[in-house]
Amino acid sequence: MQRILIIYTGGTIGMIKNEKGFLQPFSFEHLINYIPLLKSFPASISSYSFDELIDSSNADPDFWIKLSKIIIKNYDNYDGFLILHGTDTMAFTASALSFMLQNLSKPIILTGSQLPIDLIRTDGRENILAALELACMNENGTPLIKEVCVYFENTLYRGNRTTKFSAENFDAFISPNFPSIAEVGIDIKLHKQNLLKTNSDKLIVENEFNNNIAILKFFPGIKAETVEAICNIKNLRGLIIETYGSGNAPTDDKILKEIEKVINKGLVVLNISQCTVGKVQQGKYETSVKLNDIGVVSGKDMTIEAATTKLMFVLGKNLPQSEMAKLLENSIAGEISE
């Protein structure tokens, strides 16, 4: 019998309306009352609930570190972990965990819901039960899934490849540049060829982040003064630029000089496309050649969630600029297509 620890952090799945009509989280014990099947589920299920349940809008590096420490503390006692989390920043948390906990030998699956668990039409019950089934999948007692994943609406995704694209539909997540890991219907179809492969089962734990970063999204008509203001944020250590198409940016010399200045100061600038599907290919068009020349790092096909958390993670290592650039350009936990 597989041993699964459910970690309840808060989020819509465990929300009820308070006397003012606002949704707020309630205890995990109440959650079990709404899913009585959990009591007879064919696995040994334990639970851990955060003392202070949060709306995922309040998730930050401190929260990720706290969550990782709970997993590490219980790592040897369980065969898998199910994290109940709000949907708004679920992809950020999944990405962060994938960098913090490398060479996993068991699954860490995040799920949640679009509707609170106490509503008749909630998607939360199915998401929890199906995610538990996936977490329990094994061969001769060895877990089949050994990475951080997101499960939502019949599909299991690699966590650092997901992005939330809908605030209204039950299928709220997509994995635009990497195929799904499993689909759940009458049968569970696990795509073993898409599972993350590691060279070792020795868990690597790294939980230092530096969130002195900013995101600069280009738009037609952006002024050099706007770029300058962002590039001169106090204590800035890293910058993500969201460019057009395959990594293209305005060729305005004033804008490019501001970006070049921060690179020359030792900061890391990471290029991510505004397009949901596709990848950054610096140098493919003339409008991205200069970015290559001044030392902007290509984010390739990373999601903005993976890029944001990875940049914080890499900056937390306090490495020379050139070494940080190499880490950002290469896959750490399957977040980039090689």
Q: How far apart are CA 265 and CA 170, in angstroms?
A: 45
Q: Spell out a b/e string for 85-109, using b for 16 or more CB atoms within 10 Å of the CB, else e.
A: bbbbbbbbbbbbbbbbbbbbebbbb
Catalytic residue among 9, 12, 162, 308: 12
Active site residue 243: no
Q: How far apart are CA 313 and CA 208, in angstroms?
A: 6
Both tokens assigned to 144:
């089949």
Grouping H, G, I as helix, E, B as strand and the rest as coil, residue 43 is coil
Q: Which is nearest to 311 in space by CA: 180, 212, 234, 233?
A: 212
Q: Which long-range contacts (CB under 8 A, 24 or more apart) does 164-167 make?
A: 164/87, 164/88, 164/90, 164/91, 165/276
SS (H, E, C) 173-194: EECCCCCCCEEECCCEEECHHH
Q: Which is nearest to 144 in space by CA: 175, 180, 105?
A: 105
Provide the β-strand partners of residue 143.
Answer: 138
Contact between residue 230 and residue 255 where contact means Cβ atoms under 8 Å apart: no
Give the side-chain half-sphere CA count within 13 A for 254: 8
Phi, psi angles (nearest 5°) of residue 101: -120, 90
Grouping H, G, I as helix, E, B as strand and the rest as coil, residue 4 is strand
CB atoms within 10 A of CB 168: 6
Opening angle at CA 180, ends 175 and 181, nearest 5: 135
Which phi-psi region, left, alpha or beta, contains residue 266 (left: φ > 0; alpha: ψ -120 to 50)? left
Q: Which residues are designated catalytic?
A: 12
